[in-house]
Amino acid sequence: MPQPSRATDATHRVVPTPAGRIHLVEQGAGPLVLLVHGFPESWYSWRRQLPVLAAAGYRAVAIDVRGYGRSSKPADVTAYRMLDLVEDNVAVVHALGERTAVVVGHDWGSTIAANSALLRPDVFRAVGLLSVPYAPRGGPRPSEVFASMGGEEEFYVSYFQEPGRAEAEIEPDVRGWLAGFYAAFSADTMPAPGAPDPHFVSRGGTLRDRFPTGGLPAWLSEADLDVYAGEFERTGLSGALGRYRCMDQDWEDLAGFDGAPVTQPSLFLGGALDASTTWLAAAIDAYPTTLPGLRSLHVLDGCGHWIQQERTEEVNHHLTDWLASLPT
């Protein structure tokens, strides 16, 4: 078990990877914990975990995934396939002078973390998943699954998969769109039961049509929103949305891993009010088979999607307890 230490200030670095470069923020010394964000976020989503992990005796490193922030943003949409994102994570570990790491992800970062552990068990010795459960590759082509959802309405993933379409909605008012998107999936601001579901788009409509119109969620200050908006106003959204546009490619690339379990020691944290947790309840139920190394599972009552920001203290507690249980 690492020894608690006085946390040093966070530092920013850029390291070479197959993407070209990955920007990261690191704090602390000790065993490496790699933190991978989701959509539409950045390294900043882990701002409340970095100092806590550092104080607990870990070298905590939060990256900007390729396509985000100060990391490289390839123009070719196929550059956002899962195989490439896993290799970025491996390259970050090696660029930091380490051989192994614990990888923890939220949202899309959870899927990237799980696949990093699946494809490179030699590098990633344990995996933490936040909000999005692990579900092995299998079943029909993803685009076909998403196209079948919603009846007369369109599922948001299908909406995001069409190049340029979501950008046309988001980029004229990045800050306002992000505020609505974060609020739509936060426990304290999400639409009431029975209201139109913001995961779906009316034919001819936009996602924004269903965003709540009240204030920001409690976890998000105006200054926090400025940070997120500033990054996407500078980079645009195409890089971030590239992940959605490679899902069929991933399905083909990972055919050899159909049904494969992730066997390393693992953790899952979800929000009870998060559709990622409730819609994928069967994936959680399958963990004895698909995630046999699971050591810690907690679904937080009254919590939405942005779990490490909505419920910082609980998430930090569960993370540090789980990390302390791992062999070094």
Both structure tokens of 173 = 């008012």
Which of helix, strand or coil describes residue 104? strand
What are the structural domains, with CATH classification, of the chain? 11-325 (3.40.50.1820)
CA–CA gap between residue 59 and residue 80 (Å, rounded)? 27
Under 8 Å CB-to-CB from 26, ≥6 apart: which residues? 10, 11, 13, 50, 59, 60, 61, 62, 96
pLDDT at 3 over 70: no
Segment 48-88, tens digit of pLDDT: 999 999 999 999 999 999 999 999 999 999 999 999 999 99
pLDDT digits (tens, 9 = 90+) for 104-147: 999 999 999 999 999 999 999 999 999 999 999 999 999 999 99
Do 280 and 133 form a contact (C-beta atoms < 8 A)?
yes
Tokens linked to 218: 């409690």
Positions annotated as catalytic residues are 107, 305
> What's the mean pLDDT when you consider all of the chain?
96
Tokens of 55: 């104080």
Contacts of 223 (CB under 8 A, 6+ apart): none
Per-residue pLDDT band at 8 (split at 50, 70, 90): low
Q: At a CB cut-off of 8 Å and minimum separation 6, what does 321 contact?
A: 296
Task: Choose among 181, 261, 175, 270: nearest CA to 223.
Answer: 175
